[in-house]
Amino acid sequence: MDIVRNADGTLVVPVQQERQPEADDGADTPSVADDDGQDQTKAPPATRLLHPGEGGYDEALAEWDRQQNPDRGPAVSTATGRQEAMTLVHAVATSPDHAVASAVAALDHPEAGAEALRHVLVGGVPSVEAFAAEVAEAKGGEPLTAHQATKIIGEVLAELD
């Protein structure tokens, strides 16, 4: 099951269910036959809804991004990409209408910026917090919370894909 990114930035992630021991009360366990006609016990797939800033969200967002283009190599951040990423996050964060599409369109190298943002996500919450502080230092203003920065990064990556 793939990770699903909702329009509000939340992620629906699969959760591995714990194996259930056989019932001692003799109750029937739901089962289905596989291609060979053998009974296979199946548990319904479990999912969890993650919100930006919630534990595991950054990692799940990085995984969602990898699912969008599984042939893409590891994220590499360049100096140009880092500058583009900071410009992009700052523009979206300070935009009165939170205009992601116009901020992306204004960049000279949006793909380099996207790679830098992917690189930030791979580092998890500490990396996102450090990036938000770097944006505030370079562009002015207060640092975004990890929640805010992660949500913007997700919106930008969704716009670029």
The answer to whether the CB of 82 falls within 8 A of the CB of 116 is yes
- Reading the chain (161 residues) residue by residue, the pLDDT tens digits are 789 988 888 899 998 776 666 655 555 555 555 555 555 555 666 889 998 878 888 888 888 888 888 888 887 788 899 999 999 999 999 988 878 999 889 888 888 999 999 999 888 889 999 999 999 999 988 999 988 999 999 999 888 87
Please state the pTM of the whole predicted model: 0.68
- At residue 70, the pLDDT reads 85
Closest CA to 80 of 114, 128, 112, 54: 112
- Residues forming beta bridges with residue 46, ordered by sequence position: 15
